[in-house]
Amino acid sequence: MANLEKEYPRPQFQREEWLNLNGTWNFAFDDENKGVKEKWYLSFPTQTTIKVPFAYQAEKSGIGDGAFHDIVWYHRSFSIPNAWKGKEILLNFGAVDYRAWVYVNGEKVTYHQGGNTPFFANISHFLKDGDNELVVRVEDPSEDVTIPRGKQYWHEKSASIFYTRTTGIWQTVWLEPVHEQRIESIRWTPQLDRGDIDLELEVDGAVTDNLQLRVTITFDGKEILSDTTTLYETYLKRSFNVRNRFTDRSNIHGPGWYWTPEHPNLFDVELTLISNGEIIDHITSYFGMRKVSVENGKFLLNNKMYYQKLVLDQGYFPGGLLTAPSDDALKQDIELAKEMGFNGARKHQKVEDPRFLYWADKLGFLVWGEMANCSEYSENAVERITGEWVEAVKRDYSHPSIVTWVPLNESWGISRVAHEKQQQDHSLSMYYLTKSLDTTRPVLSNEGWEHTISDICGIHNYLSAEEMKKTYTSVESAVTTTPANRTIYAEGFGYRGEPIMITEYGGIAFDKDQENVEDGWGYSAVNSGKDLIEEYKEQTEALQQSEVIQGFCYTQLTDVEQEINGLLTYDRKPKCDLSAIREINSQK
């Protein structure tokens, strides 16, 4: 993975000092589940090496083994820089799939369940001078369909719409030194109508006398606000008016400081924690001033109707699977989508790496944040997806690019939701849970069909252009269709005036390299790049011409393994003239 040492993995909560632990680790399979009994955390039986943060199934890990290995172990040594002595040391994991036990010098320091969200441990009391031993044990039950796994298949070979699994560490691992009193979390909420930005901040450690927080906000390289507050408790909420800081009053309601895909303006922030005049923590962050709302059946961005032109993005990469080969690769996917005239993406069944969200914030790209779903329903599945979804929403709350939350998709994990009250209650609970965590964004209870209550009516329908023209002539015809033999609303629920969007359509298969013609998969097929453009044009124009449809999401950005229905190949090569796709998208 290129540039591993450069890109801080938590872009909205950065500390200057940190040590990246990605790279070569020792690695072992534990198919007989004997590692705990034999105390591998004390004496590691190296079988091979692996390149972290790539999963063993990925070629870029140096292993590339697609077989089931439900228990794996990692080991590496590290030493603490002399400059860090006397500080507390945090060990951070971006994501480990699915259960992780972490040991330092033979002692268990933390446990985490959930393959998509970060966790950390304060390892200060487990460290020694010189080399320290870090061991991670991972369990990832390959065939357990009640685990939130998204597109990861529960069979050894990928097929249809499901892809190769990811087991173990798949995002960055790093160390950072901190003071015993430190900033633990921050949350930004723009209040566009007031011109305010709300800051919520939590401090870890006892609040003592003379503990202060200094907030410095800059815009376009110029300082616009500096504020120092004395802290009396571990939680602080402050509002700062940024609109009145602009001297050019002609621009206070315009694109000059709002965040939009066309003008992705960001405010940079420095947060400094001071105790008795000494700086004990320093965080750099940023925020964007934008408002998302739904009014009168319309999706509004900054109080104006905004037509979303999204592309379905699976977030898979050749050789890396869920892990991008580089930070530039995450950036490139957004740049290619924007080049084609899309203004956003549905990150499908993946809680994406925060580095992707950073580039979406910076480049101006809307994102629908979606949870990786379970495949079957059970009480265990409810507990697993609920706990991890809370962590995901909290992690990504402050990103201006995220404009919609999707906790459930296409009745995955709730296959009987159309008629069964228990699963309907789960759908409702995920909707209201998300609203209880975030009041600022629309939420879909079950993207695609069989909605209970949703703020947007998202419909998945792979119709021909002619069929779409007939279907989306009125609200009634739109919400009474039955794509994939599914009703748009679950029994007992119905349309309440929310915006209607076609959030999956197309899926036009074209194998540019003629390597997967027989095994390749898509919803329809063409034989040339020219035909792909023509079919895309007909289907997309059918939606653009509808007075009912308020936006669309095309399936999909890239090919993935056996799926050949991308506008780009799996290695991100265009299948057709991208400017022609842009011209079509620009018609609305």
Per-residue model confidence as pLDDT tens digits over 447-459? 999 999 999 999 9
Given this model, what pLDDT does residue 523 score? 83
Say which CATH architecture domain 292-585 belongs to.
Answer: Alpha-Beta Barrel (3.20)
Rg (CA), the chain: 24
What's the CA gap between 24 and 530, in Å, rounded? 45
- The mean pLDDT value of the chain amounts to 94
Given this model, what pLDDT does residue 245 score? 76
Under CATH, domain 19-177 is a member of which superfamily? Galactose-binding domain-like (2.60.120.260)
| Predicted confidence (pLDDT) at residue 3 exceeds the cutoff of 70 | no
Task: Find residue 155's DSSP bridge partners.
Answer: none
Which among 513, 583, 512 has a CA at the least distance from the CA of 342?
A: 583
Backbone angles phi, psi at 514, to 5 degrees: 55, 40
The amino acid occupying position 225 is L
| Predicted confidence (pLDDT) at residue 26 exceeds the cutoff of 90 | yes
Which CA distances in Å does 273 have to 34, 215, 240? Answer: 46, 9, 18
544-575 residue pLDDT tens: 999 999 999 999 999 999 999 999 999 999 99
User: Residue 513: pLDDT band by 50, 70, 90 thresholds?
Assistant: confident
285-307 residue pLDDT tens: 999 999 999 999 999 999 999 99
pTM of full prediction above 0.85: yes
Burial tier of 70 (Cβ tally within 10 Å: 0-12, 13-18, 19+): middle
Residue 509 near residue 564, CB atoms below 8 Å: yes
75-95 residue pLDDT tens: 999 999 999 999 999 999 999
User: Residue 53: pLDDT band by 50, 70, 90 thresholds?
Assistant: very high
Backbone angles phi, psi at 467, to 5 degrees: -65, -35
DSSP character string of 127-191:
--SS-EEEEEEEE--TT-TTS--TTB-SSSS-BTTBB----EE-S-EEEEEE-SSEEEEEEEEEE
User: Residue 524: pLDDT band by 50, 70, 90 thresholds?
Assistant: confident
Identify the three-state secondary structure at position 288.
coil
Q: Cβ–Cβ contacts within 10 Å for residue 294, how many?
A: 17
What average pLDDT does the segment 260-283 reach? 96
Beta-strand pair 99-104/71-78: unpaired
Which among 67, 35, 29 has a CA at the least distance from the CA of 48?
A: 29
- Residue 75 CB partners (closer than 8 Å, separation 6+): 25, 26, 27, 28, 44, 46, 133, 134, 135, 136
| Predicted confidence (pLDDT) at residue 491 exceeds the cutoff of 50 | yes
User: Residue 332: pLDDT band by 50, 70, 90 thresholds?
Assistant: very high
Asked if the domains 19-177 and 182-287 are classified in one and the same CATH topology, the answer is no
Residue 266 near residue 365, CB atoms below 8 Å: no
Half-sphere exposure (CA, 13 Å, Cβ side) for 184?
16
Under CATH, domain 182-287 is a member of which superfamily? Immunoglobulins (2.60.40.10)
In the block, which residue shows the tokens 């009053």?
A: 249
What's the CA gap between 363 and 360, in Å, rounded? 5
| Domain ranges, ordered by start, for the chain | 19-177, 182-287, 292-585
Given this model, what pLDDT does residue 395 score? 98
